[in-house]
Amino acid sequence: MGKSFIIRNQRSLNGQSTNAVLVTLKSWQKLVETFEEKYYSYKDTYLEDIVDHMTYEERIADVDGFVAQAKPSFSRRTLSAISETMGRKHKLYGITNADLEVFLYLHKKCYTNGVIPNVTIHMMWEDYKLYKEEFAYIQHSQFYIALKKLSIHNIISVENELDGRYTIKLTHFMNEETEKA
């Protein structure tokens, strides 16, 4: 048995425990397969470039809603003399630290059926910071972008509720045959 140690995150400083995160094999395999399998074929694929190169007809006939999904409405645009017209681009493939952090956080917070009901993204961001040591957590914009990437790749589904809150489901959490995690 390993020695126990104390993580100096906000939870432990308040006397609360921090325990391990359980990730289902199916969910982990889907994450790695989706992000890494196509990485070398599409490593220079950016969310914004896909939308920019779609024709008008493709945008109108967008039955999957890809254009709406790929809009980085939550990302901050970096303003400088060089990037004033372009802004920051976000790669669609390849697992980043932020993707992994958000993936693990969602597994930490979901119920046993893989659902996180009645949340706002900002509420989740604030809760995420409680589990990390000070200055060790990812940035707010990285959190949002990682959620968007997980949603685009169908690792999570985000349902918008009427009151502005969301229900987040881990799509590959449950085994359909046994209906267990």
Query: Do residue 72 and residue 108 come from a single domain?
Result: no
Query: Do residue 160 and residue 85 come from a single domain?
Result: no
Query: Do residue 117 and residue 173 come from a single domain?
Result: yes
Question: Mean pLDDT across the stretch 163-173?
Answer: 89
Q: Are 143 and 103 in contact (CB under 8 A)?
A: no
Query: Do residue 103 and residue 139 come from a single domain?
Result: yes
**Residue 157: Cβ-neighbour burial (10 angstroms; 0-12, 13-18, 19+):** middle
The 8-class DSSP code of residue 46 comes to B
Q: What is the pLDDT of residues 38-75, one digit of tens each?
A: 666 655 556 556 666 666 666 666 555 655 555 544 33
Query: Do residue 16 and residue 34 come from a single domain?
Result: yes
Domain that holds residue 86: 46-90
Q: Are 144 and 123 in contact (CB under 8 A)?
A: no
Choice between 121 and 53, residue whose per-residue pLDDT is larger: 121
Task: Decide if pLDDT at 118 tops 80.
Answer: yes
Length of the chain in terms of residues written: 181
- Report the domain count for the chain: 2
Query: Do residue 100 and residue 84 come from a single domain?
Result: no
- Which residue shows structure tokens 């630290």? 97
Distances (CA, A) of 161 to 107, 117, 149, 164, 174: 21, 10, 20, 6, 23
Query: Do residue 111 and residue 84 come from a single domain?
Result: no
Query: Do residue 85 and residue 151 come from a single domain?
Result: no
Task: Decide if pLDDT at 1 tops 50.
Answer: no
pLDDT (0 to 100) of residue 117? 94
Query: Do residue 37 and residue 67 come from a single domain?
Result: no
Query: Do residue 156 and residue 171 come from a single domain?
Result: yes
Beta bridge partners of 158: 168
CATH of the domain at 101: 1.10.10.10
